[in-house]
Structure 1
Amino acid sequence: MDRKYKVSFALAVLTLAMSGCSIFNKSSKTEVIKPNPLPKIEQTTSLAQVFSQKVSATSAEDPLRLRIDADNDSLFTLDPKGEVAAYRGNQKVWQTQVSKQGLSSGVEAAEGLVIVGNKKGQLFALDQSTGAIKWTAQLSGALISSALVQNGRVIVVANDGTTYGFDSASGQQVWTYKLPAETLSLRGQASPVSIDSRTVLLASSNAYIYAVDSLSGVLRMQLRVAVSDGRSDIQKLIDIDGEPAVSGKFVVTTSYQGQVTVVDLSVQRVIWSVDASSINRPEISARQVFVAEDGGKIVSYDLLTGQKLWENDQLLNRKLSNPVILGQNLVVGDLEGVLHLIDPSSGTIVGRAKSSGEVRTLRVIDNQLFAATRTGALSIWQNR
């Protein structure tokens, strides 16, 4: 276990404790801030569950975001105890015990491969058709975020900030790029994100984003996207743990104790920035940016101007997941497994569905909602 990993884990626990309690008298008793009750709504839309699978849970103090993926009409799931499985529909096609050391990254499936990793820095590439392990690699730090497979490269960021590019066919290491590593940081690491077929975007705990050539690892751009006015080491934390969202020439980032920032890649500069704290990936749809803040507020901004279009504070202290657009609705999950459907034009909650356990990850693939919770509930939903 690398040093940064241990410091980040302890700090994450401290941060959660600080956000969940407030000191209110001299005897140092704490008052737990309770999540808002579910608001009464007039449900006008709902979701239908089309897939459900249970895997092992992760610790409540562990902020891992397990992720399932789909490719070539197959679904690929991961169990933290070390197994990877493939499904077609609801039928299991194969299951492979990959690591006795467990697995700690999300799944990335592309170019005939399924990529997963663990806390020991071991990276595994499996054959999508059979589940056979095609190659493995040893990295310099824990793997707690998903890889990216792009243009014949497997790109992955270790928790010490070292980014690796491997040849997807052979597993040979082609390049590395070292992100700056902060002494103190939240335990988390944004996954690499594709800008185009030759460029990958990396986000770091120092509030910078980096554009790197995916084939060679050559740096093409670096840009600071958040600043901190904190005084103590903890107050100065300004990690980007949620993946940047990319839409055309625009990149949107969120940061802990920092800002929501929009960058114009064509001129490589920030076009607007607004103070907000979030460790989740933002969402972009048309000309709107959606952010689920750490405290539970959901805010929509105009992509081009940064003007606040609406905010919803009905879900405060419910530990919201990243927001995603599914069809005509915005969806966000919470600590009780509730999936909230929100009208993106007004911020009004228009429906809900129920999963099991704290929702850690949402993503949309082929107009279906993929959800993963801390308790190991993996599910897929679609609009009714």
Structure 2
Amino acid sequence: MQQTGAVAHNDERDLAAGPGRRDPAADGHCLSRVLRQLLDPMTIRHRRGILVAGLFSVNAIAAGCTPIMRPGPERQESGWPAYLGNQRHDASARETLNPDPRPLWHASMGRGVRGSPALGEAVVAVGTADRTIVLVDRASGDVWWRTRLDGTVRAGPLLDEDRLYIATEAQPQGRVYAIRLRDGKQLWHRGVGSVTAPLAFDGDAIYAGTEDGTMARLDPEAGSVIWRTPLSGAVRAGPLVSPHGLVVATTSDTLYLLDRDKGTVHARLALPGAVLATPATDGRRVYLATVSGRIVAVDLASWTVSWDRSAGDAVYGAPAIVADTLYVLARDGRLWVIPAATPDGAISHTLDIVATAGPTPLASGVLVGSVSGEVLLVDPRSGEIRWRAQVTGPIEEPPLVRDRQVVVVAGRGNIHTYR
């Protein structure tokens, strides 16, 4: 474990498309269209002067092709401080859907959205495969701004009032960033190594786990690294903040408990397989699922396994705990509904899908997504399908719901919404 007081690099350059700036992703498409028009054979048959004048006018023509980027909101009153909104993964648990939700809008995000979005009352924030973070108007799907990052994104952003936090993997630079919500300006960035797991935020610190097995604590205001602790195995699942310490699962089939202030390892526990999805916690237990098909509850106070049961197949998506009930979706499409205190009372429903995203419990059912782009609302008691929709591309992150608006990220770069 290394202690460090290193100060983060504060980047004064505004890399965002701020007020009056244009969307650079759209500019390229528009310019290509203008050039195709100018180089059309019918155009070339005209006098050389016309063509030359046209070429000199490319910039002027292209300047009118793309929408003006505009500033986003100054802040959001309700944050998104953890993967899927909170550490229980039940941010949508009180939501209901309209009887037959219809498409509201969809927006293309280039080569693909990576990780789960962050939702505010007015915004959707996403990281993309094009090395950008994008802020979208949740009501209309219009892009407020895009900011270029120095690496590719694997996990989505977190939202804290007037700023976003996001991390990149080492292609080419693995860093953690603080981004101003209003205009996308980089407030700071800090190199920590390749981050593919979701970040964690407790109000006082940001926690980042890396592919080489290092956990780091960063100051959210300045980006300075407070400590780094090497662990065994890669960190692919997001860490959890608990009253007993920082809980971290690694691909070495191990669960760690770290001191949040110093980074020292308090305890470790062998697991029946690697954990790739961020566990859920209710403050008393941590609930996790493994790629070997086990669902495990760990008591935080005693640091022992409370129970361990089979999921029937590998689990790649995050579990969710609502009140006393745990929801888990296995790869073979089996939805598990498990009483957390009495797991022998578990029931399951076979949905005839293949799934790598976790379930999203609502007041009106459980939303699930499949690798073939199906979105299903399932009755958790009977397994009946109450609603379904189809999107293009695999769904790799759970659907999200806020104010009866369903937000679905598909693997080909699209955000789909329904209400």
Same fold (TM over 0.5): yes
**Offset of 1:252 from its aligned partner?**
0.9
**Offset of 1:295 from its aligned partner?**
2.2
Structure 1 counterpart of 2:108:
54
Contact kept, 8 Å, 2:136 with 2:145, in 1: the verdict is: no
Q: Percent identity?
A: 18
Paired letter, 1:147: L
Contact kept, 8 Å, 1:341 with 1:349, in 2: the verdict is: yes
Whether 1:289 aligns to 2:326 is yes
Q: Specify whether residues 352 and 194 from structure 1 end up closer, same or farther in structure 2 by C-alpha distance, changes over 3 A only.
A: farther
CA distance in 1, matches of 2:213, 2:418: 34
Whether 1:104 aligns to 2:158 is no
CA distance in 2, matches of 1:122, 1:55: 21
Mapping of residues 261-300 of structure 1, within 5 Å: 261-276=296-311, 277-300=314-337
Whether 1:175 aligns to 2:217 is no
Structure 2 counterpart of 1:249:
284
Structure 2 counterpart of 1:19:
none
**Offset of 1:320 from its aligned partner?**
4.3
Q: Specify whether residues 163 and 381 from structure 1 end up closer, same or farther in structure 2 by C-alpha distance, changes over 3 A only.
A: farther
List gaps (5 residues or longer) in structure 2.
Answer: 1-97
The alignment covers a number of residue pairs equal to 315
CA distance in 2, matches of 1:122, 1:192: 17
CA distance in 1, matches of 2:167, 2:347: 39
1:51-83 superposed Cα distances (whole Å, 9 cap, x missing partner): 53211335xxxxx95221024643212221022
**Offset of 1:138 from its aligned partner?**
1.4
Paired letter, 2:308: S
CA distance in 1, matches of 2:114, 2:143: 24
Structure 2 counterpart of 1:129:
182
Contact kept, 8 Å, 1:111 with 1:149, in 2: the verdict is: no
Among residues 74, 83, 92, which one is paired with 2:123 in the alignment? Answer: 74
Contact kept, 8 Å, 2:275 with 2:290, in 1: the verdict is: yes
**Offset of 1:260 from its aligned partner?**
0.3
Q: Specify whether residues 123 and 256 from structure 1 end up closer, same or farther in structure 2 by C-alpha distance, changes over 3 A only.
A: same
**Offset of 1:134 from its aligned partner?**
0.9
List gaps (5 residues or longer) in structure 1.
Answer: 1-43, 59-63, 183-187, 228-237
1:332-358 superposed Cα distances (whole Å, 9 cap, x missing partner): 101222111111122222221233311
Paired letter, 1:55: M
Structure 1 counterpart of 2:397:
361
State which structure, 1 or 2, has the greater radius of gyration over its C-alpha atoms: 2
Whether 1:158 aligns to 2:194 is no
**Offset of 1:123 from its aligned partner?**
2.3
Say which SS state the counterpart of residue 295 (structure 2) adopts.
strand
**Offset of 1:170 from its aligned partner?**
0.5
Say which SS state the counterpart of residue 269 (structure 2) adopts.
strand
Among residues 236, 255, 258, which one is paired with 1:189 in the alignment? Answer: 236
1:146-172 superposed Cα distances (whole Å, 9 cap, x missing partner): 212222212111111111111111011
CA distance in 2, matches of 1:299, 1:71: 29
Paired letter, 1:106: G
Paired letter, 1:135: W
CA distance in 1, matches of 2:297, 2:338: 10
Structure 1 segments (4+ residues) deviating >6 Å: none
Q: RMSD of aligned C-alpha atoms?
A: 2.6
Higher helix share: 2
Q: Specify whether residues 361 and 56 from structure 1 end up closer, same or farther in structure 2 by C-alpha distance, changes over 3 A only.
A: same
Paired letter, 1:313: T
Contact kept, 8 Å, 1:109 with 1:149, in 2: the verdict is: no
Whether 1:340 aligns to 2:376 is yes
Paired letter, 1:359: I
Paired letter, 1:75: V
Structure 2 counterpart of 1:379:
416
Whether 1:85 aligns to 2:123 is no
CA distance in 2, matches of 1:216, 1:71: 32
1:283-339 superposed Cα distances (whole Å, 9 cap, x missing partner): 2223322221122222222211212532222314x2342111122211110122211
Say which SS state the counterpart of residue 307 (structure 1) adopts.
helix
1:223-253 superposed Cα distances (whole Å, 9 cap, x missing partner): 33x32xxxxxxxxxx2100111112412211
Higher strand share: 1
CA distance in 2, matches of 1:83, 1:123: 13
**Offset of 1:114 from its aligned partner?**
1.4
Whether 1:310 aligns to 2:347 is yes
